[in-house]
Amino acid sequence: MKLMFTSDVHYPQYWQRLSLKLEKERPDLLVIAGDLTASGNMREFDKLFKLVKRHTNLWYVLGNHDLWLSKRMLRKGLNSLDKMESVRRMASNYGFLDLHLEGPQKLGSLSLVGVMGWYDYSYAQGKLEQFLRGSPYECDPLSKYNPCSEWWNDKVWVRLPFSDPEFARINADLLRERLYKVDRAVVVMHHVPKEELLVKDRGSFYSAYHGSPLLGKALEDFREKLVFVGYGHDHEGRKAEINGVKYEPLAIPSRDPLVLELP
């Protein structure tokens, strides 16, 4: 069985590159570690799913772009967990599977474990109010009178029923719970589980939104079970082995998909 791993497709931006790799490799299963879409628009998901279905099956976890809500969704009072479920239902109609919502999947002697991840501001230094605002400047991203020159879109378009640090902890606890129940595993997540893996934004204001060390700690506690951990979000990322865990960056903007052959 041939598996292909990638992330940060940001449909439609990197679809052509991915489709060429799918045609060449013809995998039995494609695994996307988040940011399937560029804007989180439900039409983008539907178009991507239709195109992937022509090539192979799909398992995925969502990324932060995928959780962005439309103005209509915001007016209806929906949150990003509702959005996750809507995408899951759409994916299910294509026979696809959300690893975060549906749990580990067995492939022979290997389990594929997926969680989205999230961030808790641990990877950057600064005042909490900056990170909550989503910009290092005193501004409003949507204001006509005091607009931001830079901002983090999640703070505008993502709505969660808990804080970012709480969501990161929930994800880390979920990862730990799932790894406890499996034997040999490949883990995929969108956010970056170790600060040392960051390349593009390491040390910047925006590194605060890249991940959480809680994810890395959960992985290290089960290092003996792990084949490797695939992650996205940082479009450059680093391949490394840290504290006995092998990490593979998967973002397609800077690297080809990773192919794994199972016996």
pTM of the model: 0.97
Query: Exposed, middle or buried, 143 (CB in 10 Å: 0-12/13-18/19+)?
Result: exposed
For the cut 90, the answer to whether the pLDDT of residue 144 exceeds it is: no
Alpha helices in 26-56 (DSSP H): 42-53
Nearest 5°: CA angle at 97, between 33 and 182? 75
The closest of 113, 34, 92 to 14, measured between CA atoms, is 34
* CATH of span 2-261: 3.60.21.10
DSSP, residue by residue, 214-242: HHHHHHHHTGGGEEEEEE-SSSS---EEE
In angstroms, rounded to a whole number, what is the distance separating the alpha carbons of residues 110 and 261?
12
In angstroms, rounded to a whole number, what is the distance separating the alpha carbons of residues 101 and 17?
28
For the cut 90, the answer to whether the pLDDT of residue 126 exceeds it is: no
Confidence of residue 263 (pLDDT cuts 50, 70, 90): confident
pLDDT digits (tens, 9 = 90+) for 59-82: 999 999 999 999 999 999 999 999
Quote the radius of gyration of the chain (alpha carbons, Å): 18
Q: Which residues contact 212 (CB under 8 A, 6 or more apart)?
A: 117, 118, 119, 120, 122, 123, 165, 168, 169, 171, 172, 191, 193
Domain boundaries, the chain: 2-261
For the cut 90, the answer to whether the pLDDT of residue 164 exceeds it is: yes
Residue 234, CA distances (Å) to 153, 181, 193, 248 in order: 15, 29, 11, 12
Q: What share of the chain is helix, strand, coil (3-state, %, to 5)?
A: 35, 20, 40
Query: Residues, the chain, total?
Result: 263
Q: Average pLDDT of the chain?
A: 96
Model pLDDT, residue 30: 98
Report the relative pairing of strands 258-261 and 29-33 from DSSP bridges. Answer: unpaired
Q: Which two tokens stand for residue 4?
A: 């292909």
Give me the half-sphere count of Cα atoms (radius 13 Å) on the Cβ side of residue 168. Answer: 22
Nearest 5°: CA angle at 32, between 91 and 207? 120
Report the relative pairing of strands 2-6 and 258-261 from DSSP bridges. Answer: antiparallel
